[in-house]
Amino acid sequence: MGTRVAVIGAGSWGTAVAAIAASRTPTALWARRPELAADIAIRHCNTAYLPDVRLPPSLAGTCSLEEAVVDADVVVMGVPSHGFRDILTSAAPFLGAGVPVLSLAKGVEQQTLKRMTEVVVDVVPGRPTGVLTGPNLAKEIVAGQPAASVVATTDEALSSELQQLLSTEVFRVYTNPDVVGCEVAGALKNVMAIASGMADGMGFGDNTRAALITRGLAELTRLGVALGGQPMTFSGLAGMGDLVATCISRQSRNRHVGEQLGKGRTIEEITAEMNMVAEGVKTSRAVVDLADRVGVEMPIAEQVVAVLYEGRKAAEVIPALMRREAKPELHGLG
């Protein structure tokens, strides 16, 4: 593998990954806003998303996609799913032949119901692609707290190279060839985190949260396996690990959205106050549509969509789920 990395998207997680890469190799971080790119390049900080973090002086900030991508040996896409295709399309003319494209996004494209690696194939065919995913809260990563992640590609040699590039003494990266399972788990766990947050906002306790997380894992597994993922993926870091972190952490944007919904606020009020995207809000409907396409039952995700888009109140979600027909616990787990 070459020596230059381009990270596209200077949100909290894109910045964290860029900081990790910059500790190993020359790295450029693209920010849409010139003032944020200047902060990264000159003051070595991301004032918008990680204001208390000192970034490596070796990390270059730029607002030019051409400058970021043109000589890159690896391109990491750290932009949300709803803007992924457009930004990659803008970067495509500067992307070298055969350069791997690694996705950090945890969502499904709303119009096409495609995963991000499928979008990469659409926009820049012929490039190796994969995903980095897991229980990775950006503030903890940049603070140097121990954490683990998964890099999933179908190319064993590329997985190994990315693993070495992104691993540090406190950030352990595992490999997994199950790209489909890792991407589905990453997208759907955000929807489950909204449901978990709703329960928190309504004042329910740990029993309710545990039930939602466990049944949420069943939904992740059903959909992922139906789409071609491997069952074991959902019991690992990309599945259960990320699901637990996102459903319980006060740092989770998706759990926060759910909590505020559970307190009776509207989604418009909540998102108007946020400076970062909660992927589950936009992904939820696409995930349910995808499940309908393959005939998979997704009761929790369906209730989240009903609250976000169909005018249902969060206070109705748990009662609606509890009134469902009782079934064997392992029904439909694959």
Catalytic residues: 189
Give the tokens for residue 288.
Answer: 């349910």
Q: What DSSP string runs through 221-268?
A: HHHHHHTT--GGGGGSIIIIIHHHHHHH-TT-HHHHHHHHHHTT--HH
Give the tokens for residue 238.
Answer: 């990309």
The b-or-e profile of 66-96 (16+ CB within 10 A means b, else e) is: eebbbebbbbbbbbbbbebbebbeebeebbe
**Residue 178: C-alpha distances to residues 48, 122, 181, 230, 238 (Å):** 34, 20, 5, 7, 10
**Residue 59: C-alpha distances to residues 19, 26, 37, 145 (Å):** 7, 7, 11, 20
Q: At what angle do helices 116-123 and 179-201 cross, to 10 degrees?
A: 130
Q: Which of 213, 217, 220 is nearest to 199 (CA)?
A: 213
The whole-angstrom separation of Cα 223 and Cα 115 is: 13
